[in-house]
Structure 1
Amino acid sequence: MAGVGPGGAAGGPLGRPLLIEGPDGPWELVRRRLAEAGGVMVYGRLDDWLPGDPDDPRLRLLLGRDWARAQRMTHRHIRSRFVAARLLLKHAAAAVIETRPELLDLAYKPGGRPYLRGCDQIDISLSHTDELLVVGITRRGRIGVDVELADRPMSGTGTEDQACTPYELTMLNAMAANRRNGALVRLWTLKEAYSKAIGQGLRFQFTEFGFRLGDPRARVLRPDGSPGTGDEWTFGTCAVDRRYTVSVALFDAGFGDTVDTAAGTMLDPGLFEALTGARRVPAAA
């Protein structure tokens, strides 16, 4: 895996995404990265996260409200990616907050942004394409992640006019033709990641904000290329498995770290008791 495009070092503010090859982790490494960086990105491969038995009763418990949604999907590969991605997300989040994945309630905001009900001190983001699944978790504010095939055909397809600002079009047109598609894929994933972090997804016009290619300190720019965000936002882009481009957008709310992310201290007391059947002991004053 190597760093590419805007964002400086591979993975930007959270470092390199960590490969998770199944429910056994390594989760201690994930918790350590979260403690050190305030957030973590993990990725998995589809085959590693597909359930061995699609009729296993525990799978329905693990997916929660997403079980019914998955059953309505008629395309087998789309359903498989949907299920595998949510299994990775739930196992990663459970490892971070030190609980069991089946106890987490994954819900969605009106724009489709996922969140963990009753666990507001961490923010999550999810993306998948082809055979790769990516999850981002932060305890400092908001996060968005996006992944695309690095060679996804974009240049010359009309994507430039639909997804780029005038400033970005000028940059792309000045590049060698053989570099434009990779640059456009990087810009697209950065825009997707930022849109996810602010909860807008594809509802946010990509022609209304942009990035400067090759900028070691990537930040959102207005259509004319002037700064659009400050130091509260950081971004990163990297290559994964030599086939995928992954980008992350991270917003630091400025409230400091939530060092203790264990479920017993993060969840609302009533919800914690309902989920675990255990009464939480209040912290000493």
Structure 2
Amino acid sequence: MTAPGQRTPGPSLGQPIVIPGPSEDWSRVRADLDRHGAAVLCARQDDWRPEGAGTRRLRRLLGHDWERYRELTHPRVRTRFAASRVLLKFAAAAALGVPPESVELGYGLTGRPCLRGYDGVHLSLSHTDDLLLVGLATDGAIGVDAERSDRVLYGSGLGRHMCTPYETERIEAMPVAERNAAMLRLWTLKEAYSKAIGLGMLFRFTDFGFSPDEAPTDLLRPDGTPGTVGAWAFHTLSFARHYTLGVAVGDAGFGRTTDPAAATALDPGIVDALLTALREEAREAPDRRRGQNC
């Protein structure tokens, strides 16, 4: 058991997996889930444009999201929406061992995506410019966020809305040239954590924080004291030298899902009972119809 206030290194995380398109080899996704309990995927929006799927298959892939896609009027927003959802479904399908058309997405109150009918794999989505970022986790909740590394945050006045007193003090003590990068790391980590817990921007960024000038290990209270110990792992990654990525992975306390495949999540006895009930219902249906016609 970890002593109060003692920091422990969180679980490891593999480097972002580049997914050039649907025909990519998805074996590394399963390998990272097996090894780390989480996987981070990066893709270019242009590689997942909906036109490449064709209207008929795109409708099957989007499922319940098809009508929402059709209602979007801005071409760029439509393309990003379809590309990100199709990427999510292919990623989830790789983890579950099922066809992507069979995956259905649901959404929490703040828009966080989830898998309908299956809670063994958790999802998170972010995008900036042409980059699509997806997080998968089997240990617990996950949140991801991506920002351009050249985005200017320091000195823009945003600090008072996103930094705790402890973070502000530490950032101001850093060399000037390092301050913007530190704020970018904080921003992506806070976005990732708030997504992971399902609160989005409803959770004020000044109510929690991280250490700006070292590898993140724990969530910190506004005064810099540890807020969580061992329950979360936080990671800052760089991708393609142009993007800063933040990843938050929670430990639900139930241990790792060693085999996330959908087939192993079903109890054989329950499946047999359901199939038997469906067969009996199918046999009884003609008799019921004949009775109604009498």
- Do Structure 1 and Structure 2 share a fold, with TM-score over 0.5? yes
* Residue 95 (structure 1) aligns with: 94
Aligned-residue CA RMSD (Å): 2.2
1:53 CA displacement:
4.5
Over residues 180-201 of structure 1, what are the superposed CA-to-partner deviations in whole Å (9 max), with x where a residue is unaligned?
2221111000000000111111
Over residues 95-150 of structure 1, what are the superposed CA-to-partner deviations in whole Å (9 max), with x where a residue is unaligned?
11000111111010112111001111111111111110111111111111111111
* Residue 142 (structure 1) aligns with: 141
- Tell me how far apart the structure 2 counterparts of residues 160 and 205 of structure 1 sit (CA, whole Å): 13
Q: Higher relative contact order at CA 8 Å, sep ≥6: structure 1 or structure 2? A: 1
Retained in 1: the 8 A contact 2:140–2:249? yes
In structure 2, the residue corresponding to 1:137 is in which secondary structure?
Answer: strand
Letter in 2 for 1:151: D
| Pairs within 5 Å for 1:34-53 | 34-53=33-52
| Pairs within 5 Å for 1:26-175 | 26-53=25-52, 56-175=55-174
Retained in 1: the 8 A contact 2:170–2:213? no
Greater mean deviation of Cα atoms: 196-205 or 77-86: 77-86
1:43 CA displacement:
0.9
Question: Looking at CA atoms only, which structure, 1 or 2, has the larger radius of gyration?
Answer: 2
- The gaps in structure 2 that reach 5 residues or longer are 1-8, 279-294
Retained in 2: the 8 A contact 1:63–1:83? yes
- Identity %, equivalent residues: 49
In structure 1, the residue corresponding to 2:234 is in which secondary structure?
Answer: strand
Retained in 2: the 8 A contact 1:12–1:237? no
| Pairs within 5 Å for 1:273-284 | none
The answer to whether the aligner puts 1:200 opposite 2:193 as a matched pair is: no
1:40 CA displacement:
0.8
- Tell me how far apart the structure 1 counterparts of residues 215 and 188 of structure 2 sit (CA, whole Å): 17
Letter in 2 for 1:216: A
- The gaps in structure 1 that reach 5 residues or longer are 1-8, 278-285
Retained in 2: the 8 A contact 1:118–1:267? no
- Tell me how far apart the structure 2 counterparts of residues 136 and 125 of structure 1 sit (CA, whole Å): 5
* Structure having the larger proportion of residues in helix: 2
1:238 CA displacement:
0.8
* Residue 284 (structure 2) aligns with: none
Cα pair distance change 1:267/1:100, threshold 3 Å: farther
In structure 2, the residue corresponding to 1:33 is in which secondary structure?
Answer: helix
- Tell me how far apart the structure 2 counterparts of residues 18 and 119 of structure 1 sit (CA, whole Å): 23
1:70 CA displacement:
2.1
* Residue 5 (structure 1) aligns with: none
* Residue 6 (structure 1) aligns with: none
- Tell me how far apart the structure 1 counterparts of residues 90 and 83 of structure 2 sit (CA, whole Å): 11
Retained in 2: the 8 A contact 1:16–1:41? yes
Retained in 2: the 8 A contact 1:12–1:236? no
Greater mean deviation of Cα atoms: 77-86 or 186-195: 77-86
* Residue 239 (structure 2) aligns with: 240
How many residues align? The count is 264
- Tell me how far apart the structure 1 counterparts of residues 241 and 35 of structure 2 sit (CA, whole Å): 26
Letter in 2 for 1:266: A
1:13 CA displacement:
2.6
Letter in 1 for 2:249: L
Letter in 2 for 1:168: E
- Tell me how far apart the structure 2 counterparts of residues 106 and 26 of structure 1 sit (CA, whole Å): 22
